Amino acid sequence: MATDKKDFKSLWGGRFTGGMDPLMALYNASFPYDKKMYAADLEGTKVYTAGLHKLGLLNDYELSEIHRGLGVILKEWESNSFEEKQDDEDIHTANERRLGEIIGREIAGKVHTGRSRNDQVATDMRIYVREQLIEIKKILKELLSVFVSRAEVEIDVLMPGYTHLQRAQPIRWSHWLLSYATYLVSDLQRLEQLIDRVNLSPLGCGALAGHPYGIDREYLASELGFNGLVTNSLTAVSDRDFVVETMFWGSLFMNHLSRFSEDMIIYSTAEFGFIDLADAYSTGSSLMPQKKNPDSLELLRGKSGRVFGGLAGFMMTLKSLPSTYDKDLQEDKEPLFDALTTVSHSILIATGVLSTLKVNADKMLAALTPDMLATDLADYLVRKGVPFRETHHISGAVVRLAEVMAVRGIDKLSLEELQSVDARFGEDVRGEVFDYEKSVERRNAIGGTAKSAVFDQVSRIRKLL
């Protein structure tokens, strides 16, 4: 069908006779960033017009032409040949304008029957966010698989565990890896719940009061892959809780990734030397040729603040809005889209970093010191029936004795010196206490650092994946 010659009119322009201030037009436009929802917008229009056809508001020919035109537009977007116009206010007006150019204004003008941009944009956003979160779920599982695989392969590597960034007790490197995997498992579970809450359809609610022609909203929802409906039309067009929750999920996830990155940055320093990052995830210095900087991890740590900030800013936008739709809600897209992109890229970078780094098991082992077995020394006496509060005091006295005698560790004290603190130390104390492998293997309860407990964690995570 031939293209109409007259200019495409704004969706809201009938009431207005004067032109818009060019700066206001730019200020009002969302097309530069919401055009990434082109596929969701086209799919929503395709299904919505099928719903209009069921009501008899479109005939067979009109529906066929609309769907043909939508298919042409989709191919143009996918081939990067869609011609953007200066007056394209947003993705919705751009697609409808182009549809009119392809199939004619008369038929194209019917696609908006009973539909408002209020329910249209809410629908587009929920479809887009749903698909993005499903993809994030996929790559998050891949990251978790790397954690679990390294934990299995490197099960024999021992390292210091820390509290207050001070050496505390021996643990397995695998146990440390799985501590972050456990955070990410919770993130995965929350993500699955989030996808369910995002996946509700607002389509068919009009501007705010509902649909005037009795459209089958359940049909629209089912065809668009939604699990259900937003059942109040006022809420449907103005609800952005799913945006807030998506950015909150991203903020919490990035918080976990930031803490992981901080540990890894510390462990990669020359002072620790526990790990070496691959060159692909490091940079050099413009002045000092010896430097190898962990920029990938520093960016992961830094970008967490970007996501946090987007959430805080949009929460301030929402906090005092009257019902129902207000233009302030247009401020949802930029922080939301940025958060989704940042989280996705961060997962991919973290996966690359973790899968390619080198573990220096010898340096981790060398960082273990006998004083880290002071609790094991107390536990030794507990097994002989001494109350723990008493053994804790005894073990502390042994540590103090080693310091006074200027020996290199509590393991260097003779049996007689140990017995000078408490006579219940026996000949077996050295073999029972001063062995890092035995220390970690004693922690075999669920969640511990013994091999059996670590493999149990691996098994539990694999089942979830």
Residue identified by tokens 């940025």 is: 338
Q: What pLDDT shows up at residue 460? A: 96
Neighbours of 179 (CB within 10 A): 18
User: Domain limits of the chain?
Assistant: 13-113, 118-161+171-364, 370-464
For residue 420, the surrounding DSSP H or E stretch is helix 415-421
Instruction: Specify the pLDDT at position 283.
Output: 81
Query: What is the pLDDT at residue 14?
Result: 57
**Domain 370-464 coded CATH 3.40.50.300:** no
Question: pTM of the entire structure?
Answer: 0.91
User: b/e string for 97-127 if b means 16 or more Cβ within 10 A?
Assistant: bbbbbbbbbebbebbbbbbbbbbbbbbbbbb
Q: Which of 251, 280, 282 is nearest to 264 (CA)?
A: 282
Q: Is 285 a catalytic residue?
A: yes
Note the pLDDT of residue 258: 98
Q: Is 376 in contact with 442 (CB distance < 8 Å)?
A: yes
Is 345 annotated as catalytic? Answer: no
pLDDT of residue 6: 43
Task: Name the catalytic one among 67, 92, 145, 164.
Answer: 164
Segments of the chain with pLDDT less than 70:
1-20, 24-29, 285-286, 289
CATH number of 118-161+171-364, picked from 1.10.10.10, 2.70.70.10, 2.40.50.90, 1.20.200.10:
1.20.200.10
CATH number for region 13-113 = 1.10.275.10
Provide the pLDDT for residue 2.
Answer: 38
> What's the rounded Cα separation, in Å, for the pair 243 and 239?
9
Q: Which of these is catalytic: 285, 323, 414, 452? A: 285
Give Rg (Cα) of the chain.
31
